[in-house]
Structure 1
């Protein structure tokens, strides 16, 4: 990853508190870059073991990438406020934020209580609770028909209302956890029975057991990466979203930027800007997922944070602006000089998933993968890790990343490098290629998969 072209000298002498953090290389890199420009970083965390998975915290990349780690209940806004407040209620930090889907609302609430810059907490919550986003959008053509159900006896009526196929998913989760397509009432009933048993999030917050149902919309899916400053939404560009497909919708790769005809691009940007305006989101980064259908663009989700899975690296290498650093500038009250956004070249990432469950014994092919021109091999699993297989992005064990003059050429190189990697696992006394476990606990990494951060 190249160093951002723009200067982030405005970080010098400032301090920010981050409520939990995203995992893996791009986010640790962002921490290091911010500190290089003089930003002091406090990491607030409720459970260090969520990051280390049994390893020593002092050897974890996050430990060396921040100035201070504060152990606090990050589900309790009063506890968070107490750690960053001095005498007379004076904030000890210049900004407070989070990129964790499970903590963005609390961070927005805490920032508002402290009088620090940040988005409206209600807007963040509306985006995070996916049926509230649907309600906020109303009857616009880019919305999707939906219904939230609490009981099994509501399913038949929901099927008549929405029709098949449909998508079933938890109303509020991350990393595509629980998302699946259902084509029959039997499949819908099975999905409901499973999802309604989920009574806490992957980070331990209580859940109702309700299930969100949406009409399935066919089409190519992309994401739009934005930064909203004082109500004006700036667009970095469009990212491809390669999916494994039915029945679960798990990301396996991305390229940036996706070229679109002027009229189609303008329509897409208009939909994204209107979506953020509808929920009152006026401050901060957003990663909005949209599908191109025969009848136009349809909004899948709006995530009020920076994108994951190395997408920030894609944006930075192509535009020269770091969404991570720009978001932290906003959090400390500075206006990042985002526009004009200029695209130079293209970039691609492939997400690596093991094939079978087991305890990781070794990874073969790293040298060959790293020898592919222009490719970075970014792995976050190591010997002894219990590699997980769940139908979401937590099964990802690393990335192959490439940037260059063309996004498709970069994708070909990233794919080539990924083909060399072989995860050898030990299962029931035997050695096999692959990894993963059928029923993992809630320690799978949000948005960027399980495992330790920044290993390459």
Structure 2
């Protein structure tokens, strides 16, 4: 069978490898295919596979262009399934699947989950708790919106991802700095054009936790498990770790809220990642992502359940009923790491990490000789991760945190004179 992958993400290259191993044809459409070669060791062996076709298109983010491209590919080699692991391309995937009559999320559901202002507006006044918010479409409206919400507050682009340009605002100076920085951001790279919509939201204190779900063909929501998401300090919100598990005291409340959210938004197909803040008033919806959770988290799901969610995304896109990765007896967790300073990466050595109890794997994202930034603004500042197993959530987390002290990372840093 033939899979059309509309962009991907670095870890999602594992899904392409899965499809090729099963004997499927894969066509990857990307604005910048070389990006994956540079950032993902998993790309090796995919691009030169006889069943893999890589199509470079500078305009692939433009939906009309993508539709024409997909129809041309379909005419030459009929497409049996369309999917993506990329947050930026969930609407594109839904649109192409709809145009070709293939399994996929409704386009409205994809839009409602992709654009954060649409999520907020669709659920406003309903039973699911959300932060107080103001949706603005012009930067000139932001200051008035901040005054309405009050300080501190959170500002975020409606179409961002990975914590990029999501900032905790505490003062007028913070606001001016943020608006100046955002005014220079026309796109997110790889042809992804930023829309002007911005959300100004009430700052909600509480642990960040996500519900991982799968919406089966026909719309049945199956809530699989929970992923905790410890964050770095302000003003940015960088995810620093994750553990995939079941058994949280608020689990059933979180599952019920997720089902309600997805049904109200029209999110009717696929693996879904829904984030909540656990406030003193109960779970408050943070955002909905209409795709499989990112980072190393699908690997945590596979370790715990024995089911590879990357592969199940492929199978579901082909019209098969996916096997569902419910958390098992083993709890898997991981932590990301970055650099405390900017410089040039010389080496990352995990030898001592590999000797620690519960070690599963470790991965560096950058090659020696690469210029790196300080871990400060978003998940894109990560340099790598470690993954450990444990008897429960706390045990796995403690093992991950302890392992960070055993990473041998060497940099060249320019010293100011």
Task: Provide TM-score, normalisation by structure 2.
Answer: 0.90
Partner of residue 204, structure 1: 191
Gaps of 5+ in 2: none
1:357 aligns with 2:342: yes
Report the CA distance shift for 1:61/1:190 in structure 2 as closer, same or farther (over 3 A).
farther
Partner of residue 249, structure 1: 237
Report the CA distance shift for 1:84/1:200 in structure 2 as closer, same or farther (over 3 A).
closer
Shift of 1:78: 4.5
Partner of residue 51, structure 1: 36
8 Å CA contact 1:84–1:91 kept in 2: the answer is: no
Q: Over residues 149-169 of structure 1, what are the superposed CA-to-partner deviations in whole Å (9 max), with x where a residue is unaligned? A: 345553443233212221011
SS at structure 2 position matched to 1:189: helix
8 Å CA contact 1:369–1:416 kept in 2: the answer is: no
1:273 aligns with 2:252: no
Report the CA distance shift for 1:59/1:17 in structure 2 as closer, same or farther (over 3 A).
closer
Partner of residue 225, structure 2: 237
Partner of residue 217, structure 1: 204
Partner of residue 327, structure 1: 313
Partner of residue 158, structure 2: 171
Report the CA distance shift for 1:189/1:151 in structure 2 as closer, same or farther (over 3 A).
farther
8 Å CA contact 1:176–1:250 kept in 2: the answer is: yes
Query: What is the count of residue pairs matched by the alignment?
Result: 410
Shift of 1:221: 0.9
1:144 aligns with 2:103: no
Question: Larger relative CO (CA 8 A, sep 6+): 1 or 2?
Answer: 1
SS at structure 1 position matched to 2:363: strand
1:112 aligns with 2:98: yes
Q: How does 1:95-134 map to 2 (within 5 A)?
A: 95-134=81-120
Distance 1:223 1:291 in 2: 9
Most deviating of 292-301 and 43-52: 43-52
Report the CA distance shift for 1:427/1:334 in structure 2 as closer, same or farther (over 3 A).
same
Shift of 1:97: 1.2
Shift of 1:246: 1.4
Partner of residue 367, structure 2: 382
Q: How does 1:74-85 map to 2 (within 5 A)?
A: 74-85=60-71
8 Å CA contact 1:388–1:394 kept in 2: the answer is: no
Shift of 1:32: 2.8
Shift of 1:288: 0.6
Cα RMSD after superposing both structures: 2.7
8 Å CA contact 2:272–2:288 kept in 1: the answer is: yes
Distance 2:161 2:74 in 1: 37
1:180 aligns with 2:164: no
Shift of 1:414: 2.2
Distance 1:64 1:297 in 2: 46
Partner of residue 295, structure 2: 309
Partner of residue 437, structure 1: none
Distance 2:296 2:149 in 1: 35
8 Å CA contact 2:277–2:283 kept in 1: the answer is: yes
Report the CA distance shift for 1:280/1:320 in structure 2 as closer, same or farther (over 3 A).
same
Q: Over residues 238-274 of structure 1, what are the superposed CA-to-partner deviations in whole Å (9 max), with x where a residue is unaligned? A: 111010131111000011215223xx32211111111
Shift of 1:398: 0.8
Shift of 1:116: 0.8
Report the CA distance shift for 1:42/1:240 in structure 2 as closer, same or farther (over 3 A).
same
Gaps of 5+ in 1: 1-13, 432-456
Distance 1:164 1:61 in 2: 51
Most deviating of 96-105 and 416-425: 416-425
Distance 2:385 2:336 in 1: 5
2:15 pairs with 22, 27, 30, which one? 30
Report the CA distance shift for 1:209/1:427 in structure 2 as closer, same or farther (over 3 A).
farther
